[in-house]
Chains A and B, each alone.
Chain A
Amino acid sequence: MDGVHDIGGRQGFGHVRYARDARAFHTDWEVRANSLYAFAVRRGIFNMDEYRHAIERMEPRHYLAASYYERSLTALATLCVEKGVVTREELEQRAHGAFPLALPSARGRTNASDRERFKPGDRVRVKTDYVPGHVRMPGYIRGKTGVVVSESPVYPFPDAHAHAVEAEEEPTYDVRFRSEDLWPNSADAALVHVAVFQSYLERGG
């Protein structure tokens, strides 16, 4: 999904609001929001890909304005409602007000049928796929060519796992891109490494 969450390389943002060795939490509700979503994952109410996708499905203005832990909370509540654990009405009654949830999900997809095994040094190209559901390919690498550095253990395929679609587990490839290839004449010189699922890749020229 080409959502508002996919912001790698987007321009117009200001300075990082950096404080050395900043705290992870500031208030009690942040700690509890973090623990509640972890609890729901541990209990099997939803998996991490469903969780990440529920964050991505937040209404864009809500997503951009929300703190990280408000996004966690929203994904948790959305998935609990979608899976029939609670109802939105009950949550809103208990909260004494509106409880904004994420927007509905589009369809998922299974692994690509033409998956290839790559080895370090291979040149690979990221397919120009446009995926309505969950996908872990950041938009800034779509159609770009890089070099395989290594192969990971296999993981659930996120595009399927976030949507209860059957799929095989598959490895990711650590693919090294040159920032110059990603944003010609418009990036600081760097090597950008991305963990790219096998289904997203084809052999590059």
Chain B
Amino acid sequence: MADRSSIVRRTASVEERVDAIQAALDQRGMEATGAVDELSHLAQEQWIPQNGARVVAKAWLDPAFRARLLADGRAAVAELGLVLPKHHRHLVVLENTQTVQNVICCTLCSCTAFTIIGLPPDWYKDLEYRSRVVRESRTVLKEMGLDLAPEVEVRVWDTTADTRYMVLPEQPAETIGWSEDRLAEIVTRDAMIGVARL
């Protein structure tokens, strides 16, 4: 067999590579295609930021729930029928206040509490955010449109284990008295990552 490194070949496109591995697994009777359909539905329809938004809205309205959420996030979100993967053994909920802004990241890869706050967007997984947000947090947030007052303390959370984080944003003053459903509509994934305020 010729030395493979001496043979110049085109690299298959990513679509061709995905097709190849999927077909190879199917051919071994693993029924990958059926599982892909099911998992793709979960990723696009079930693991969405509206889950976390419901958690936040309830926490704003129900002080006892808020206390349980801050004490044990995994158990508290389960009250709303929300689950994390088995290997995410701990969900830590980070409470923003007028003088504290929490922001989450994953410098080593791109980990998030994706079943609760939704799968992360490109910018969260890109090299710029991962390299800079731990070191230039205030500058990065400002570039992203969040200009924090000098007295606000920034707390950056690097997701280096399978503990997962979500930010509990502050409730905007003008929404006092709103229903839980209406409140949930204003909560965004970016606010639960901590790069936006509501």
Contact flag A94-B36 (CB < 8 Å), given A17-B128, A22-B123, A192-B134: no
**B10: chain A residues within 8 A (beta carbon):** 97-98
Indicate the size class of the contact surface on chain B: 35 or more
Query: Does A22 contact B109, Cβ atoms closer than 8 Å?
Result: no
Query: Does A39 contact B39, Cβ atoms closer than 8 Å?
Result: yes
Query: Does A188 contact B136, Cβ atoms closer than 8 Å?
Result: yes
> Chain B nearest CB: distance from A80 CB in Å?
7
Interface residues as binary, A17-42 with B (CB distance below 8 Å gives 1, 0 otherwise): 11111111100010111111011101
Q: Does A68 contact B (CB under 8 A)?
A: yes
Indicate the size class of the contact surface on chain A: 35 or more
**A31: chain B residues within 8 A (beta carbon):** 40, 43-44
**B155: chain A residues within 8 A (beta carbon):** 190-193
Chain B, residue nearest A192 (CB): B156
**B123: chain A residues within 8 A (beta carbon):** 16-19, 22
The distance in angstroms between the C-alpha atoms of A115 and B12, with both chains bound, is 47
Q: Does B16 contact A (CB under 8 A)?
A: yes
Query: Does A189 contact B17, Cβ atoms closer than 8 Å?
Result: no
**B127: chain A residues within 8 A (beta carbon):** 7, 13, 64
Query: Does A138 contact B108, Cβ atoms closer than 8 Å?
Result: yes
Contact flag A7-B18 (CB < 8 Å), given A172-B163, A189-B154: no
Query: Does A96 contact B126, Cβ atoms closer than 8 Å?
Result: no
Interface residues as binary, B16-49 with A (CB distance below 8 Å gives 1, 0 otherwise): 1111111111001010100110011001100000
Contact flag A36-B25 (CB < 8 Å), given A13-B128, A13-B132: yes
**B36: chain A residues within 8 A (beta carbon):** 32, 35-36, 39
The distance in angstroms between the C-alpha atoms of A187 and B137, with both chains bound, is 8
The distance in angstroms between the C-alpha atoms of A188 and B11, with both chains bound, is 42
Query: Does B154 contact A190, Cβ atoms closer than 8 Å?
Result: yes
> Chain A nearest CB: distance from B137 CB in Å?
4
Query: Does B161 contact A188, Cβ atoms closer than 8 Å?
Result: no
Residues B40-93 near A (CB distance < 8 A): 40, 43-44, 87, 89-90, 92
Contact flag A32-B40 (CB < 8 Å), given A17-B128, A42-B35: yes
Query: Does B43 contact A138, Cβ atoms closer than 8 Å?
Result: no
**B131: chain A residues within 8 A (beta carbon):** 7-11, 13
**B17: chain A residues within 8 A (beta carbon):** 73, 77, 91, 95, 99
The distance in angstroms between the C-alpha atoms of A11 and B128, with both chains bound, is 9
The distance in angstroms between the C-alpha atoms of A94 and B13, with both chains bound, is 12
Interface residues as binary, A168-199 with B (CB distance below 8 Å gives 1, 0 otherwise): 00001010000100110011111111111100
Query: Does A17 contact B21, Cβ atoms closer than 8 Å?
Result: no
The distance in angstroms between the C-alpha atoms of A17 and B35, with both chains bound, is 33
**A21: chain B residues within 8 A (beta carbon):** 121, 188-190
Most buried by B among A6, A10, A18: A18
The distance in angstroms between the C-alpha atoms of A186 and B136, with both chains bound, is 9
> Chain B nearest CB: distance from A137 CB in Å?
7
Contact flag A80-B43 (CB < 8 Å), given A36-B36, A183-B135: no
Closest 10 CB pairs of A and B: A8-B107, A97-B12, A95-B12, A35-B39, A22-B121, A94-B20, A24-B119, A195-B161, A95-B20, A190-B154
Q: Which residues of A contact B (CB under 8 A)?
A: 5-11, 13-25, 29, 31-36, 38-40, 42-43, 48, 52, 55-56, 64, 67-70, 73, 76-77, 80, 85-86, 90-92, 94-100, 136-138, 140, 152-155, 158, 172, 174, 179, 182-183, 186-197
26 example contacts (A-B, Cβ-Cβ < 8 A) are as follows A9-B131, A11-B131, A13-B127, A16-B123, A18-B195, A24-B43, A25-B43, A31-B43, A34-B119, A36-B32, A39-B32, A52-B109, A56-B108, A68-B122, A73-B18, A77-B21, A80-B24, A91-B21, A97-B9, A97-B13, A98-B10, A138-B158, A190-B137, A195-B158, A196-B160, A197-B161
